[in-house]
Amino acid sequence: MLNYFSYNLETLVKFMENKTPLKLQIDFVFVSKRIKILAIGIIISIIFVFAMGLTVSYANIRPDMYNLNILSIIICLVVGAASLPIKKLMVKKATPENFLSVYFNAHIIPLLLCDLGGLLCVSTNLFINQNIILAAGGVVISAIYIILIFPYKKDLDKITAK
């Protein structure tokens, strides 16, 4: 019983030593909510453009421009994949002193890239050459990368570990 208590006491002491400052935790919650609201708004806007593109005439099918459809989905994939390392690089620059501005900006540029890829894919596949399947794929790919960019608690742990 005594060993159990001392083990828990040691664990508690280690936890207290590595605990993130309260101000930084509050800033993280504040910035995380702003980023998530922005990201959800971007996903909704991509879905809205997709829905509006579905109302375009179905006579807009040009088999000779299929390469453009494939190119747009590849660009969506590449830009989305590039947004993840960009976020990681920018989050590394954050410190407890400049956390609010740097952490928020570390998410804005990757979200912008995902939005760019998604809207390019949707607009190319619905407005230029009708291909609903590739357009839906662009929406899904963008939404997945946007969700992967969401702020996570492990980012805060990395910042305080510096």
* Predicted confidence (pLDDT) at residue 49 exceeds the cutoff of 60: yes
Q: Which of these, 34, 36, 51, lies nearest to 139 by C-alpha position?
A: 51
- pLDDT tens digit sequence for 88-116: 999 988 888 888 888 999 999 999 999 99
Q: How far apart (Å, rounded) are the C-alpha atoms in residues 150 and 152?
A: 6
- Average pLDDT of the chain, as a whole number: 85
Averaged over 38-43, what is the pLDDT?
A: 96
∠ CA 39-40-46 to the nearest 5 degrees? Answer: 90
- pLDDT tens digit sequence for 138-153: 999 999 999 999 998 8
The answer, as to whether pTM is greater than 0.85, is: no
Half-sphere exposure of 30 (CA within 13 A, CB side): 9
Tell me the domain boundaries of the chain.
63-162
